[in-house]
Amino acid sequence: MEREALLSGLVHPGGREPAPGSLRVVQGFVNTVDREHGPDLFDDAAGLAEWLERQMLPADVKAGDLEAAAEVREALRSLLWANNGGPHEPEAREVLEQAARRARLEPAFPPDGAELVPRSTGVDAAVGHILAAAFAAMLDGSWRRLKACPGHNCGWAFYDRSTNASATWCSMSVCGGRSKAGAYYRRRRASGA
Ligand SMILES: [Zn+2]
């Protein structure tokens, strides 16, 4: 995938609409890597800095920030797999809770609605904004529709708008089709055909 596609967050396999509202930044954060073909925007500080800038969350990237951001990204992906029928991983929740503490997320009570606000600075605070968006989505129920694709080497985050939230694949033509082909060949092998 093109680096620009990962930066813009505008590319969605299968023609899906992006996640609604502030959940979009969570989706974009998880989709900062093409796990099958590369690139990974978090391979270098410039990539993370540019992505944050594009989300209007500018921050100086310091030592350790890249690793921490990537760890939070993969922990979020783990939760999105769980939304898609995968196992619940306590380690992933622990990573997110630690990141929320580093961001010093605090409740705020403005007239237009309660929110969590990071009191930290730098990348910790930027990641805090993303975690606050995930937290809000968990409360309003939209979270369960944000899923990670279980396709081999995929893990792409997509927003499932199907009526009963039953979509599995990022795209039927990419991962869904592959999975069908895989099942077909496995059946053929099993029957000795
Ligand atoms: Zn996929």
Q: What is the mean pLDDT of each run of 10 residues along the chain (193 residues)?
A: 91 91 97 96 97 97 97 98 97 98 97 95 98 97 97 96 94 82 63 54
Q: How far is the CA of 102 from the centre of ligand 1 (A)?
A: 32
The residue count of the chain comes to: 193
Count of CA atoms in the C-beta half-sphere (13 A) of 134: 27
- Identify the residue whose tokens are 């993303």: 130
Q: How far is the CA of 36 from the centre of ligand 1 (A)?
A: 10
List beta partners, residue 148.
Answer: 157
C-alpha to C-alpha distance for 144 and 87, rounded to whole angstroms? 14
The predicted pLDDT at position 193 comes to 46
C-alpha to C-alpha distance for 17 and 12, rounded to whole angstroms? 7
Q: How far is the CA of 59 from the centre of ligand 1 (A)?
A: 31
Q: How far is the CA of 80 from the centre of ligand 1 (A)?
A: 13
**How far is residue 48 from each of residues 55, 61, 68, measured CA to CA in Å?**
11, 7, 11
The predicted pLDDT at position 56 comes to 96
C-alpha to C-alpha distance for 11 and 23, rounded to whole angstroms? 16
Q: How far is the CA of 130 from the centre of ligand 1 (A)?
A: 23
Q: How far is the CA of 48 from the centre of ligand 1 (A)?
A: 23
pTM of the model: 0.92
C-alpha to C-alpha distance for 80 and 68, rounded to whole angstroms? 18
Residues 81-88: contacts with CB within 8 Å, 24+ apart?
81/147, 81/148, 81/150, 81/155, 83/143, 83/144, 83/145, 83/146, 83/147, 83/148, 84/147, 84/148, 84/149, 84/150, 84/168, 85/150, 85/168, 86/148, 86/150
Q: How far is the CA of 112 from the centre of ligand 1 (A)?
A: 37
